Structure 1
Amino acid sequence: MISFNGRFIRLVALPLAALSVAAFATACGGDDDDGDTEPTQADASASATVSSSPPVAAAAYPVKVKDLLGREVEIKSKPVTIVAVSPTAVELVYAAGGKVVGRTTTATFPEAAKSAKEIGTAYQPNLEQILALKPDLVVADSSIHAQPALRQPLEQLPVPVIFAGAESYQQVLDALKLMGQVFDSKTTTDRVIADIEKAKDDAKKAIAGKKVTALALIADRDNTFYAAKTTSYAGDILAQLGIENPAASQADSGPFPGYTTLSAEKLVQFNPDYIFAITAAPEPAPRLATLIPAIPPFKALKAVTSNHVIDAKVDYFVQAPGPRIIEAFKAVAAAVSAP
């Protein structure tokens, strides 16, 4: 079975930022130590100015949030020392203006995250290493860590734990909104959400009027193919752009939720205009986009004869569902709108 760098199900983590709590300003008296000195007109004016100042806004914390597993979690103060337990979780933290001190092994985006300590993989996080970093918040993945065997040990940590992730376009937006609450950075996350919505709209405009079919494919080490349905992240990206997916109505089958096993005969029958081929293994491993055209039954496929077999990045379509959905929309639009 192929390893998708520790995740084939949506990864989403809740990002938390490191900031300080604001203090109230207090008014100070004059230099004169003589308590009998009469107040001057200037003193009275200053006093009037102070008393007419607008009230200081209430502190954002503590705040109670509901994470993507429906759990209510209290955040007592703005998180500063954050551990994120999936690539998606890491990216969500940074998208909300935060940073992490601990990350999973394959979580290498953004560049700033690489300096964080590794705490194992998303499927095998090292709880001792997490606690050694003394976090005030742990961001787990609501997709990967929904499984009881992974969820329960994380929930038992003696620090607040938030579950955030994404298996669809809408869940990316939901996760960002949650992170905005956790970090008190709604302005920041709203801007990211607006950028994502614009990327989707721009992609739809770029391919408007093109009636095409497309499959998003992955393969295991035995070269068994699996096609993304609309219930998968990659399949939902195609659906959001109005692209017809011949595999959408197929039954789930195989080891990957939201995917259907695709025989060679079925692929020939579907004969899509485009194939987005996703290779899980890093280079120099052979690319699935190179393998497909070399298989004799597939040489006559429309996607092959038109040179429309696209090498789709695993980060964008499988490994790290999250803010970089922007890049996925751009990649699909660029491929489909090309001559």
Structure 2
Amino acid sequence: MIKTKAAMIFLCFIMMAGCGMQASSESAEPDSTNAHTIKDFADRSISFSNPPENIVALGNGDVDIIYALGEEVVGRPTASSLIKEAEQAAQVGSTHEINLERIAVLKPDVILAHRTMNEKDIPSLESLGAKVVLTEANSMADIKKQITLYGDMLHKENEAKNVINQLENSLGSVEKPEHKPRVLLVYGAPGTYMAALPNSLSGDILEHAGGENIAKDYPALEAFPQYAQINTERVVEANPDYVLLMTHGNEEEVKKGFMKEMEQNAAWNSIEAVKEGNIEVLPADLFGTNPGTKAAEAVAYLAGKLKVE
């Protein structure tokens, strides 16, 4: 966070000096003639004297985009990487649990973090001597915005445009089902299950894949506005063709737990998804996290799943 009082004193000092004194290198911003400034998803301005070289990413989607732009990371999430080339990078925890000690050893120029989950961590991360760039992806548009932002940060604007064009071409080639199957998207962890809304990334992927989100009118949770509580009566009324689960954790454990909860309410047995056995866990690498440029693969996978056999 900016120390407002200190900043005002510093500004007054510069004005009184008539710009004749030079601030110390520790407190001065990069030379405006050389600095390149970007604005992240939290509307924060971050300046770089040179394109960052040592990059730490706390999310798999960020890792994917950096490699798509022709660069690499020195630190990545502890969860398995979507990018084979990134597997040798040091594991630094995740957006939920950051390992500051491991990051410090890497001496990063920039740390790519999550806007909602990591804004509170900025002081700790900046204390390591790194810049912090916050983004998040709740839609395809957000992923494209991430690509543009990182391309700007790395001075790879043309590469970013090419990556976005490839993503859009891949999305345009997806064959959608002839009708819109009704789908309940469930984000789950053992004992906790929420319906994904259209303003979530998975909800947006479902829209691109040609499905209808039966939870589109559910009231959002205050703490997690991209998700809602699952209302059994409304689910039965909507009669979804598919119930699709997403998770960061053990897929089989999550499905087993959800099936157990369904068994406790016989009303679930009346919906089409249960009758047809269309209750599945989606691949975690594509749906349990932001897949970055591989979002087109997620759309294609889901579209294929929703096609009427």
Q: How far off its partner does 1:301 sit?
A: 1.6
Name the structure 2 match of 1:123: 96
Name the structure 1 match of 2:164: 193
Indicate if the aligned counterparts of 1:88 and 1:141 stay in contact, CA closer than 8 A: no
Q: How far off its partner does 1:65 sit?
A: 1.4
String of CA shifts for 1:222-281, please: whole Å, max 9, x gaps: 2x5311111211112223345322211111138643111113333222211222222432
Pick the aligned partner of 2:207 from 239, 250, 256: 239
Name the structure 1 match of 2:284: 314
Corresponding position: 1:265 with 2:265: no
Indicate if the aligned counterparts of 1:167 and 1:321 stay in contact, CA closer than 8 A: no
Corresponding position: 1:64 with 2:32: no
Q: How far off its partner does 1:62 sit?
A: 4.2
Name the structure 1 match of 2:15: none
Change (3 A) 1:155 1:248: farther
For residues 148 and 196 of structure 2, the distance between their equivalents in structure 1, rounded to whole angstroms, comes to 27
Change (3 A) 1:195 1:76: same
For residues 330 and 288 of structure 1, the distance between their equivalents in structure 2, rounded to whole angstroms, comes to 26
SS in 2 for 1:122: coil
Indicate if the aligned counterparts of 2:135 and 2:146 stay in contact, CA closer than 8 A: yes
Corresponding position: 1:291 with 2:264: no
Indicate if the aligned counterparts of 2:187 and 2:193 stay in contact, CA closer than 8 A: yes
Corresponding position: 1:111 with 2:76: no
What is the letter of the counterpart of residue 161 of structure 2?
D
CA RMSD of aligned residues (A): 2.7
TM-score (norm 1): 0.72
Name the structure 2 match of 1:135: 108
Indicate if the aligned counterparts of 1:226 and 1:262 stay in contact, CA closer than 8 A: yes
Q: How far off its partner does 1:183 sit?
A: 1.6
Indicate if the aligned counterparts of 2:221 and 2:227 stay in contact, CA closer than 8 A: yes
For residues 110 and 84 of structure 2, the distance between their equivalents in structure 1, rounded to whole angstroms, comes to 21
Corresponding position: 1:216 with 2:152: no
Equivalenced residues, count: 275
Indicate if the aligned counterparts of 2:251 and 2:281 stay in contact, CA closer than 8 A: no
Name the structure 1 match of 2:18: none
Pick the aligned partner of 1:91 from 59, 64, 73: 64
SS in 1 for 2:198: coil
For residues 171 and 116 of structure 2, the distance between their equivalents in structure 1, rounded to whole angstroms, comes to 23
Q: How far off its partner does 1:136 sit?
A: 2.0
Indicate if the aligned counterparts of 2:60 and 2:292 stay in contact, CA closer than 8 A: no
Structure number with the higher helix fraction is: 2
Change (3 A) 1:67 1:190: same
What is the letter of the counterpart of residue 188 of structure 1?
E
For residues 226 and 175 of structure 1, the distance between their equivalents in structure 2, rounded to whole angstroms, comes to 26
Name the structure 1 match of 2:23: none
What is the letter of the counterpart of residue 210 of structure 1?
H
For residues 280 and 120 of structure 1, the distance between their equivalents in structure 2, rounded to whole angstroms, comes to 14
Pick the aligned partner of 1:152 from 123, 139, 148: 123
Q: How far off its partner does 1:156 sit?
A: 4.2
Q: How far off its partner does 1:298 sit?
A: 2.6
For residues 85 and 139 of structure 1, the distance between their equivalents in structure 2, rounded to whole angstroms, comes to 6
Change (3 A) 1:280 1:80: closer
What is the letter of the counterpart of residue 247 of structure 1?
A
Q: How far off its partner does 1:283 sit?
A: 5.1
Change (3 A) 1:292 1:300: farther
For residues 279 and 291 of structure 1, the distance between their equivalents in structure 2, rounded to whole angstroms, comes to 15
SS in 2 for 1:184: coil
Name the structure 2 match of 1:75: 48
Residue identity (%): 27
TM-score (norm 2): 0.78
Instruction: With a CA cutoff of 8 Å and minimum separation of 6, indicate the structure with the bigger relative contact order.
Output: 1
Change (3 A) 1:118 1:282: same
